[in-house]
A = this chain, B = another copy of it.
């Protein structure tokens, strides 16, 4: 009952990893199937389509992998004991991840595609959903802080959510434009300075 037929010449998981890297660096429309195939171990087109279905399906899998492997590097920081520490650690780790040598600068989801041809609308919508999901995780963390008492009940949760999501996305642009890690960490300090302004009762 072993597997029949000619054995595959590539490892699906590793190929997906490489595809993620290419999408991360060039975006959805910017990455061509030829370029992807070369990075995925030089597999031929039919093999790629048999394994992943289409460019969009491949991209969605690549994004899923990104979310499960890369984005936790900063999003998991939300599990810090207090809401304030959670947000600050998240931003700090994002600044660090966005400027890691050997990896594309910035976030795949933030930079992978925003404007594009009309036929890539579904991809843009998918990426937007991912971004909204990150914001939602921020929001949930703030609410948790409120429930646990480390965030005053009067804190403007919605505004803080959108604000820190804005900073997070802005950091991707900054990283993409070449901002140094130190400059981005300074941005995080500024952003956390806003905490006192918006949450005055928080000592």
Give me the interface of A with B, judged by CB distance under 8 Å.
25-27, 29-30, 32, 110-118, 120, 128, 131-132, 156, 158-160, 162-163, 165-171, 173-174, 176-179, 183-184, 186-187, 189-198
- Across the interface, A158 reaches (CB within 8 A) one of B110, B160, B183, B195, namely B183
In the complex, what residues of B have CB within 8 A of residue A194's CB?
A: 190-194, 197
Q: Given A158-B183, A166-B174, output 20 extra A-B contacts at Cβ < 8 Å.
A: A29-B30, A114-B173, A115-B176, A128-B177, A131-B173, A162-B184, A163-B190, A166-B171, A166-B173, A167-B167, A169-B174, A170-B171, A170-B173, A190-B194, A190-B197, A191-B194, A192-B194, A194-B197, A196-B196, A196-B197
23 A-B contacts, Cβ less than 8 Å apart? A26-B117, A27-B116, A29-B29, A111-B114, A113-B115, A114-B173, A115-B176, A128-B178, A131-B173, A131-B177, A132-B177, A156-B186, A158-B183, A159-B187, A159-B190, A160-B190, A162-B179, A162-B187, A166-B173, A190-B198, A191-B194, A193-B193, A193-B198
The 8 closest A-B pairs by CB, nearest first: A193-B197, A170-B170, A27-B115, A166-B170, A163-B190, A194-B194, A159-B186, A193-B194
Contact yes or no, A162 B174, CB < 8 A = yes
* Complex contacts, A196 vs chain B, CB 8 Å: 193, 196-197
CB nearest neighbor in B for A184: B162
Q: How far is the CB of A81 from chain B (nearest CB, A)?
A: 22
Tell me how far the C-beta of A175 lies from the nearest C-beta in chain B, rounded to whole angstroms.
Answer: 10
In the complex, what residues of B have CB within 8 A of residue A186's CB? 156, 158-159, 162-163
With both beta carbons as reference points, the residue of chain B lying nearest to A120 in the complex is identified as B30
